[in-house]
Homo-oligomer: A and B are copies of this chain.
Amino acid sequence: MAKFLKRGEHILGVDIGGTKAMAMVLDHSFKCVGRAKKKMRCDKPGEKAEDRVIRAMRDALEDAGIEQVAGIGAGSPGPLDPDTGVIIDTPNLAWKNFPLAQTLSDAFGGIPCVIDNDVNMGTYGEWHFGEVKNCKNVVGIFPGTGIGGGLIIGGKMFRGFTGAAGEVGHMTVEPGGPYCGCGKRGCLEALASRVAIAAEVAALSARGDAPYIFENCGTDLGKIRSSTLAKAIQNGETMVEGVVRRAAYCVGVAVGNLINILSPEAVVLGGGLVEAMEALYLEEVERAVKEHAMPFLRKKVRVVPARLADDAVAMGGAMLIAEHLA
């Protein structure tokens, strides 16, 4: 890997999520030398979401035993403008036209700070540090509560005209299908997110078709995590398996469409569902790709699992600021 930082220099990579913020301090060789996590729920009067993020960053510095870094790279829910560092709107965090990059920079003495969409950052992290480095065109898909996507095109993060390209979760996969959180019908996210899976599995549970789920989660879809689904499948709950396989197949249909459009070298699949059930999940995605992508285009494309797990976004942020500083 090219050298971006001087020996002795450190950077902060930050992953801002709806429920928690995670910060990593990395040395010049991108080795993690300190990390910290904070819940995003504010527990003091007057505290704001950005205060929680900054506390996670300070705690990570303390964990590393260092006082200053050369720069900050942070991934955040969007939409946001990476050029100005402004968050346009994040309902969960109550940020609206909020200058996140400036705020984080100011909190650490005015050092450079870059921000981008969390899924872009995750794809960037996987691209640089995972199994797909050296690929010029990569698609990243992260099925979770929602389904996010990131695109590397021509060796660079691709943001499109609005800056918000890569909304693979809102591709229409089944016209007239179930409602999505975005208000449309039949989006990939409405068919294959963890919420969509949990809703169908909760119905199985209510009907007595998924005893393991019923025992552990009742009929509350909010309690059905990726790990619960994996355990139910291990316990032989075949209908739960069927629901997960169908969702993974839907993701594969979208992957097939993306291969037809973009002809990438690799597709990276990450997030909790993939991590919890990697073999089963990839099997269905590959089956769908075989059935929906053109033979000539799919022949050489690699569909690979993400490798950085919860560190992908922070590592992507670290890489982006390192490039910015170089």
Contact residues of A with B, CB < 8 Å?
Answer: 79, 135-137, 149, 151, 153-154, 158-168, 170-175, 182, 184, 253, 256-258, 260-265, 291-292, 294, 296-297, 299-301
Could you say which residues of chain B place their CB within 8 Å of the CB of A136?
161
Shortest distance in angstroms between A163's beta carbon and chain B's nearest beta carbon?
A: 7
A162 to B163, alpha carbons, bound, how many Å? Answer: 26
Q: Which of A182, A184, A301 has the most C-beta atoms of chain B within 10 angstroms of its own C-beta?
A: A184
A263 to chain B, nearest CB (A): 3
Q: Is the CB of B161 within 8 A of A300?
A: yes
- Contacting residues, chain B, for A163 (C-beta < 8 A): 263
B161 touches A79 (CB 8 A): no
Residue in B171, B184, B301 whose CB lies within 8 Å of A291: B184
Pairwise interchain contact B165-A261, C-beta atoms closer than 8 A: yes
Task: Determine the distance from Cα of A262 to Cα of B159 in the docked complex, in whole angstroms.
Answer: 8
Q: How far is B161's CA from A162's CA once the two chains are assembled, in angstroms?
A: 25
Contact assessment for A161 and B256 in the assembled complex, using a CB-CB cutoff below 8 Å: no
30 residue pairs of the A-B complex, CB under 8 angstroms, read A137-B161, A149-B261, A151-B261, A158-B262, A160-B297, A161-B263, A161-B264, A161-B265, A161-B300, A161-B301, A162-B296, A162-B299, A162-B300, A164-B296, A164-B297, A165-B261, A165-B262, A166-B261, A166-B263, A167-B260, A167-B261, A167-B294, A168-B261, A172-B253, A173-B175, A175-B253, A257-B257, A258-B261, A261-B261, A261-B262
* A79 vs B158: C-alpha distance when bound (angstroms): 26
- Closest Cβ of chain B: how far from A120's Cβ, in Å? 12
Given known contacts A154-B153, A258-B261, A172 and B292 CB-to-CB distance under 8 angstroms: yes
| Residues B262 and A160 in contact, CB atoms below 8 Å apart | yes
User: Of B171, B263, B299, which one neighbours A260 at CB under 8 angstroms?
Assistant: B171
Closest B residue, CB atoms, query A171: B257
Which residues from B are CB-within-8-Å of A166? 261, 263
Of B165, B171, B253, B299, the residue contacting A263 (CB under 8 A) is B165
Q: How far is the CA of A274 from the CA of B296 in the complex (A)?
A: 29
A193 to B168, CA, bound (A): 25
Choice from B184, B294, B300 contacting A182 with Cβ under 8 Å:
B294
Question: A151 CA to B151 CA in the complex, in Å?
Answer: 15
Give the contacting residue for A172; candidates B149, B154, B162, B257; CB below 8 A: B257
| A164-B297, A294-B182 known; A175-B174 Cβ under 8 A | yes
